[in-house]
A and B are shown apart, each in its own frame.
Chain A
Amino acid sequence: MHAVEVKALNKAYGKNVIIDGIGLEMEAGGFTVLLGPSGCGKSTLLRLIAGLEDVTAGGIFIGDKDVTLEDPKNRDIAMVFQSYALFPHMTVSENIGFGMLINKKPKAEIEKRVKEVAQLLQIEPLLDRTPAQLSGGQRQRVAIGRALMRNPKVFLFDEPLSNLDAKLRGEMRLELKNLHAKLNATILYVTHDQIEAMTLATKIVLLNKGEIQQIGTPYEIYNQPSNVFVAKFVGSPQINLLKGELMGGEGDWNVLVNDIQIPIPNYEFTKQPKKGMQVLLGIRPEHITQSPLNSAFETELTVTAFEMTGSETLAEFDMHGQPVRAKLDANIQIKNGDNFGLHFNLQNISLFNAETETRS
């Protein structure tokens, strides 16, 4: 049984298609992150699952029940909104207890449950305050508290950390992770922040233009991107995509980038390779360094630009006409125009068909 299952889901406003035939499964206890650039349809997908938007076609199943046409309240979900959506004129405890009040639960029962949840989130001292008297992080906790009250099959989070400053965001990220482990909850989480996605997710669903680009663990998304879009979207600084031609043959494949030949004998092709095919060789900057450790290929290139961040030096080289970024040790002294010997670690490279931009 899947906690959530989405089948052939479509959402369109008139001719404007937002979600285009998405299929998706979520395991109970999983932390699934919907990741993508703004406007990719990730929030719409979440809102469709929540029942806040009407489905155009397809089906949504939560805990094996068809909820495609259900009201939000009958879907056994809880949701945390980007803006928290706290009721400004109610105290924290009234906010948290709102659902039970609406559903005419006895007062004592509400109080008891509110206390439990407040304890879990360590917001007991705030219970009598109004949202206006809370800091961003505290509001966030209250919003989570309101969701916890429902004890739902699935928690839905819509960019919950985007209104917090960087430091607080880091803390809340950790807390969410702990909460997920403690409650063994099933979470569906929307974000445009790849760090959040990488650190929190047990499974990432990467969306673009209303279509799924790739579903996988953070490791798979990062190291085995299924197309150029995914490769470029995750990782900072961005992956190098070197234009080249596939040469050689069985057991002896290599890529000719301009006049430089890069051997890739151990690359695991997903599609039958074809000699002479135009490819993009994807290699992340941290796999091009000064260190001979794990080096599979070495070449000397000219420095065109560099930035020192303190912990490392990011440098751009001219690879005979194509720029290539590398992550060097912070202690290395370089200047523009220097020739420098670079080592390529080819363990986690990706090859894309230059025409279709898909992994080959």
Chain B
Amino acid sequence: MSSQQVSSMTPTASLASQVRTGDEIKKARFIGKLKQPRWVFWTLFKYMTLILASVAVLVPPFAVLLASFKTSKEYYTTSKVALPENFLNFDNYIKVFADGNLGLAFTNTGTILIISLFFTVVFGTQVAYVLSRFNFKGKKLVLLAYVIAMVVPAVTTQVATFEVIKALNLINHKGSVIMLYIGADVVMIYIFLQFMKGIPLELDEAAKIEGASYFLIYWKIVLPLLKPATATVIILRTIFIYNDFYFPLLYLPEKSQVTVSTALYKFTSVFGTEWTTISAGIIIILIPSIVVFLLLQKQIYAGVTNGAVKG
């Protein structure tokens, strides 16, 4: 802020006359700021950048949304950013759902998602429980194995992973991507480990004194207390798996095994240049993400931050 406010700092003869009502204060404050060219400039500049960014974020998907309601002829003859003649024209949606294999894709992705999430949570909590509660030979080695695995980017190793999947006879079998989603993911273990530190050991001990077995302690005490971590992991994994394109492209090429991502990817070969139909397909696939995001905004922010920083 500038320091050009000397004018209002003159001594005042009668203080009483200077006591202002709420409206006077608001007005005086606003006028005071307007008199500072730097304040005016920066405020305008800040909003301008935000508005520009918002436009940049909105225009591309908005154009796709518009296209999804247009007929093919309309799409090619009118401006791509013009409103469609009829917002109730769902022909593209009907067509893409029927011919685009989207029903199958959603079923497949859903199946993969649920099984992967289940095992990620089971294995993640179990590994975290064992590593944070017991001392045993080789524990340091196991921890080290997880640390090093984090450094290896999965994209690079797929050339060799492909051989493993092939040897296991899992090409075109959902088991392939499910195992990769479960086994090659280390960040989740870290999130669980981090949360385990916050669960007091006294709880375990109190249960032990009551005669609980270790499994019971895991099942009845640790698992319920890890709920916030579980929520974080589920959110992060759902975003990742729903959006993942790489693994299904490599390991699930067959038509019967399409996921949401690969089904959409194949649109250009199925529908050619029917951009209006393709647009409808894109919108169908975007909607669940947006709805889930708006519902779980806070948890998603927290999850993304934790996942990146702790990972």
- Which A residues are closer than 8 A to B by beta carbons? 5, 7-8, 10, 54-59, 61, 64-71, 73-74
Q: Decide: A74 near B12, CB < 8 A? Known: A8-B19, A10-B22.
A: no
Residues on A with C-beta less than 8 A from B16 are 7
Q: What are some 16 contacts across the A-B interface (CB < 8 A)?
A: A5-B15, A7-B15, A55-B25, A57-B24, A61-B15, A64-B11, A65-B12, A66-B15, A68-B18, A68-B20, A69-B25, A69-B32, A70-B5, A71-B5, A73-B3, A74-B5
**For the complex, is B21 an interface residue (Cβ under 8 Å from A)?**
yes
A69 touches B8 (CB 8 A): yes
A64 touches B8 (CB 8 A): no
Contact of B18 among A66, A71, A74 (CB under 8 A): A66
| 6 pairs of A and B residues whose beta carbons are closest in the complex | A57-B22, A59-B19, A7-B19, A66-B18, A8-B19, A59-B18
Q: What range describes how many residues of B lie at the interface?
A: 20 to 34
B9 touches A56 (CB 8 A): no
- Which B residues are closer than 8 A to A by beta carbons? 1, 3, 5, 8-12, 15-16, 18-22, 24-25, 28-29, 32
Residues on B with C-beta less than 8 A from A56 are 22, 25
B19 touches A58 (CB 8 A): yes
- Interface contact tally, CB-CB below 8 A: 56
In the bound assembly, the distance between CA atoms of A73 and B3 in angstroms comes to 9
In the bound assembly, the distance between CA atoms of A10 and B19 in angstroms comes to 11
- Chain A residue at minimal CB-CB distance from B16: A7
Interface centre among B16, B18, B29 (most CB of A within 10 A): B18
In the bound assembly, the distance between CA atoms of A70 and B18 in angstroms comes to 14
A57 touches B20 (CB 8 A): yes
Residues on B with C-beta less than 8 A from A57 are 20-22, 24-25
Q: Decide: A68 near B25, CB < 8 A? Known: A57-B20, A59-B19, A74-B3.
A: yes
Residues on A with C-beta less than 8 A from B8 are 66, 69-70
- Chain A residue at minimal CB-CB distance from B33: A69
B25 touches A66 (CB 8 A): no
B3 touches A61 (CB 8 A): no
Residues on B with C-beta less than 8 A from A74 are 3, 5, 9
In the bound assembly, the distance between CA atoms of A5 and B11 in angstroms comes to 13
In the bound assembly, the distance between CA atoms of A308 and B10 in angstroms comes to 61
**Closest approach, in angstroms, between the C-beta of A317 and any C-beta of chain B?**
44
B18 touches A61 (CB 8 A): yes
Residues on A with C-beta less than 8 A from B9 are 65-67, 70, 74
- Chain B residue at minimal CB-CB distance from A9: B19
Q: Decide: A59 near B3, CB < 8 A? Known: A64-B15, A70-B9.
A: no
**Closest approach, in angstroms, between the C-beta of A175 and any C-beta of chain B?**
34
Residues on A with C-beta less than 8 A from B5 are 70-71, 74
Interface centre among B11, B18, B19, B24 (most CB of A within 10 A): B19
Supplied contacts A59-B15, A67-B9, A70-B9, 20 more A-B pairs, CB within 8 Å? A7-B16, A7-B18, A8-B19, A10-B22, A56-B22, A56-B25, A58-B20, A58-B25, A64-B11, A64-B12, A65-B9, A65-B11, A66-B15, A66-B18, A68-B18, A69-B8, A69-B28, A71-B1, A71-B5, A73-B3
Residues on A with C-beta less than 8 A from B29 are 54, 69
